[in-house]
Structure 1
Amino acid sequence: MKKLFTILFIAFSATAFAQTDEEQIKASINQVFDGMRKNDTTLIRQVLHPSCFLKSVLKTKTGEVKLQDDAIIGWLKSVGTKREGVILDERLTSYDIKVDGAMAMAWTPYELYVSDKFIHCGVDLFTLMKTEKGWQIIGIVDTRRKENCKQ
């Protein structure tokens, strides 16, 4: 009886603490935003694949839609620069995650605040890959707008 209890306890513990792919993906994405709030680029880099890209789909003043390439190194430098009283707070409002084997994507609407002041909203589209280090972000594409936001 004691052996049976021990086996059941171990099986239950392993199941209870195992995270699903979706939970692991959310944790990787949340780590980026935790790092932003703390100006901690080491925390962010842990979940970024070395080949990670950063792009934005933007509308120019003339209404033309364009794709802007942003250097991930420049973004990390900006995030890692501490400014007295300034907190970068990107708040995700939901997640729509799709997984196919070792590849996943997450569509995450967001609102960006700087020190509690609303700046803009949009959507982040994360592409992720499951590696020996866990789910790593291989690409981020975002949109930015100031209208039609749920503030």
Structure 2
Amino acid sequence: MHRWPALLGIAASLAIAAPVSAQDSSNADVLAVVDTFFEGLNTADAVLMNSVVAEGSLVTFVVESDDRPDLRVRTMEQATEGLVDGGNYYEEYWEPTVLVKGPIAVVWAPYLFDVDGKRSHCGIDVFNLLRLEGEWKITAIQYSVDEGCPAGR
């Protein structure tokens, strides 16, 4: 008879401790947008990359150094132009953390970046997305650049 209050307390504490994320298909929908962006990057297709990007989006990256971090900001247009004009690029991410609340989503994941088949760098990618007119769009990308990448990936 006295078990109900205890069970309700346990259930409430589990609900509070759970990470905030979508319980529907939002996580998969958000990752599909990120995957489309990477497909465009890996095939040098700026049109495909920009198809999942909101107008006015920015790309910010930071290169860690002993002196101070080197922070650079570009428009998405500048970033995608540089990617399709530069060389043979390949980027891959794994173990993404996806957070979704209403029309806002964030994807955080480690990544690697190869140029002409050789490892250039790795780091952390962060994609910010908004659901605009019923579709997820990337509004910002931030990433770190680490040249000391672990072996095996």
Pairwise TM-score range, normalised by the shorter structure: 0.7 to 0.9
Q: What SS does structure 2 have at the residue aligned with 1:143?
A: strand
Distance 2:74 2:64 in 1: 15
What's the % identity of the aligned pairs? 21
The 5 Å alignment of 1:50-129 reads: 50-60=55-65, 62-81=66-85, 86-129=87-130
Post-superposition CA distance 1:83-132 (Å, at most 9, x none):
6xx42110112210001100010101100012321110001111100122
> Which amino acid in the other structure matches residue 144 of structure 1?
V
CA contact (8 A) 2:57 2:75 kept: no
Distance 2:116 2:72 in 1: 26
Distance 2:60 2:130 in 1: 18
Distance 1:127 1:75 in 2: 16
> Which amino acid in the other structure matches residue 28 of structure 2?
E
Distance 2:89 2:138 in 1: 20
TM-score, normalised by the number of residues in structure 1: 0.78
CA contact (8 A) 2:64 2:144 kept: no
Distance 1:21 1:72 in 2: 24
C-alpha RMSD of the superposition:
1.8
Q: CA shift at 1:134, angstroms? A: 1.3
TM-score, normalised by the number of residues in structure 2: 0.77
Distance 1:20 1:114 in 2: 34
Q: Where in structure 1 are there 5+ consecutive unaligned residues?
A: 1-18
Q: CA shift at 1:39, angstroms? A: 1.0
Partner of 2:140: 139
> Which amino acid in the other structure matches residue 103 of structure 1?
I
